[in-house]
Amino acid sequence: MNSSVLKKVLLFGLCGGLVLAVGILLGHFAIKKTASSQPKWVEEAFRDVDESFIETFISEVDAAQIEANLRELTKVPHMATSPGDEATVQYVLKRWKDSETGLDDAWREEYKVFLSFPDKTNPNKVTVVNPSNNILFTVREKEEAYYDDQRDPEVVQPYAAYSPAGHAKGKLVYANYGSMDDYKHLNNTMNLQGTIAIVKYGTVGRSTKALNAAQFGIAGILVYTDPLDINDGKMSDKTETYPHSWYLPPTGVERGAYNIKFGDLLTPYLAAKEDTYRISKDEITDTPPIPTQPIGFADAYALICELAGAEAPEKWQGGFNCTYNIGGPGFKSTSPFANSDVKLDIYNFEELRNSANVMGVIRGSVEPDRYILYGNHRDSWVHGAIDPSSGTAVMLEITRVLGKMVKEGKWRPRRSIIFGSWGAEEFGLIGSAEYTEEYFTKLSERAVAYINVDIAVFANATLRASASPAAQNVIFTATKQVKIPASDTVSVYDNWMKYYNRSSPTHGIIPNVRYLTGAGSDYAAFMHYLGITSMDISYTYDSSKTNARIYPAYHTAYDTFDYASKYIDPGFTGHQTVARTAGTVLLRLADSLLLPFKCSDYAESLELYLDESLKRYKTQLENKKISMAPLENAVKSFREAASRLEGVIQQSDFANETPFKIRRINDQLMLLDRAFLNPLAFPDKYGFRHVIWASRSSGVPTFPGLADAFEQADSTGLQDDWNQVHKHLSIVAQAINGAAQTLNDVI
């Protein structure tokens, strides 16, 4: 073969090979693969939330089932560690282990916790005694019984949990809400040493009322709910209050735990297991140092209206048809109680008891190591129809619907869902706090979000939600999808916006999602201690139609199934709407390919806090040579980082991205709230490590450490206090800068 022919053959072969190679490549990349040609894990890895499944879930949530749940949960009182509490443990376990509607697994977790109780054989007593120690008046030991619910022998006597046992006797004074300013006002006009103070619920925490009082030498305190604050002034149980309406009867008494820290008091930062190290009782610092007892407003009326002394300030006046005087100290000379003392005989005791959380799980199919947590406490003070059983009834309906889908093989979430029925919440969020302490590392690494539904329904007018700003987006999406009761057209979102809204620089007029700035329920340990993005969801009343600070039967013997079904949510459609809304949020968090969090909403909240700080503090701080520029720059950096990340998200076609990119972005979103944790920022605020949402004593709605430090420095003028302002300015600025860095792709 000559060279010319050989060249032609080789050229032809080379061209043919190139054509074949190009054809293979084109075939591989240009021809769309069928689902059957891909490994199953590929399809699973890119599975996104199923909108049709959410619609099915919404339609399956049944008000009648929720009503049946609540009826069962409220048959008997179930205070923490009582026989009734154990019965609810068994009931929840039975439901979650059901072969047709149960979860993948359910179990109980025990903690040994420090609780406080009244002595059944020696009830607490409050009396008015004359100089001869004769009893002139006795406060009721039990609430008036209208139905058999109030006659149940397991109804606990009204008491102040963690009040010390002891005896106190002295002249009575009226101290408004028991704030430090209230006591200071009284102290300017009289000697408070050895007196007994009567104060109203509200404004400051229960324990704080007693802690403040002790600083002025007050020997004991009585606490009551004023009808102006809870009943819109209504006082008669003949026609106006329960059993005729939702208002609190005259003998109703709000029970409660009188402590500030959350979690077991003897095992701070440690899970309260059998052999855990415990501090001594004497080391507890946030419980009342003086005898304390709550009473009904009928008895408070009998005492306050007999007080001598100057007329109390106008803002101190309440709902009684008499003038509130501050006390002489003591009673008027014309009173049947003239020259008499009020005496407290308190026989409370404390002991270690076993308390159980009930846990349940639906395991995720794609990312089982990522957890969506949903929780509600189980224990109550008495029957607890609204607090907390409305929330438990809702949770059991959500698990029934989802459990049935799992058992039938119709659905399994992308991420694992963990349900928690917390024990001993009423004594200081104990069950949830001990859970976060025991599983601190695992939850810190793996938890995506926590949904809290405690009191599911305060009333049935509109939704109420508090949340980390990151969660605002998913709450809005869910509320736009769910309709309000008795309407096929009005969404929960639109109805909510009619009642509670705000103007957003980004979104315009939107429903007002409040911040989780305190420790009012079981979200506290998740949000403030672990930095897990959290939310609290409920239905509530129209605040333009009532001044009630909470539903009136709160923590009383009247919070029963009868009360809930007649006056809070007849037909249980409010419960149903909360179940649909919270359940939809849960499903979107569990099933969305990309987590439905928005860091730009977080940026807006930081900017609002910054604007408030600049308005309130900048001029004075400049005079003190303290610059706010680092804080301004930090918030600006966070906004820029949030915009960049959301730009990446908007430009990405996640169906054609690697799972690693999706997981990376999800981790950035999941860990955002964790980036604001500083375990050393608030040494005097137990469990609060989140520098943006920690509790604050200042009334200024801005960064809590900065707000409280500025208020203190402005009050004292001391250089050491101004140094603390500078310190907290640096803490929050660096936390925001650090959080901004986590939103960037690389170093």
Residues that are catalytic:
425
Buried b (16+ CB within 10 A) or exposed e, 331-353: bbeebebeebbbbbbbbbebeeb
Q: CB of 630 within 8 A of CB of 704? A: no
Token couple for 709: 């430090």
Distance CA 452, CA 419 (A): 10
Residue 223, both tokens: 């606490």
Q: Check residue 746 and report its DSSP letter.
A: -
What region does 424 belong to: left with phi over 0, alpha with psi -120 to 50, or beta?
Answer: left
Give 682-687's long-range contacts (Cβ < 8 A, gap of 24+): 686/260, 686/261, 686/262, 686/263, 686/268, 686/286, 687/261, 687/262, 687/263, 687/433, 687/519, 687/524, 687/525, 687/528, 687/529
Both ends of the chain: CA-CA distance in Å? 64
333: three-class secondary structure by DSSP: coil
How far does Cα 669 stand from its chain's mean position?
Answer: 21
**Residues 6+ positions from 9 with CB-CB distance below 8 Å:** 1
The amino acid that residue 469 corresponds to is P
> Is the peptide bond between 313 and the residue preceding it cis, with omega within 30 degrees of 0?
no
Q: Strand, coil or helix: what is 27? A: helix
Strands 341-346 and 166-170 turn out to be antiparallel
| Type of residue numbered 617 | Y
C-alpha separations of 461 from 128, 544, 574 in Å: 43, 11, 8
CB 458 within 8 A of CB 464: yes
**DSSP structure class, residue 330:** S
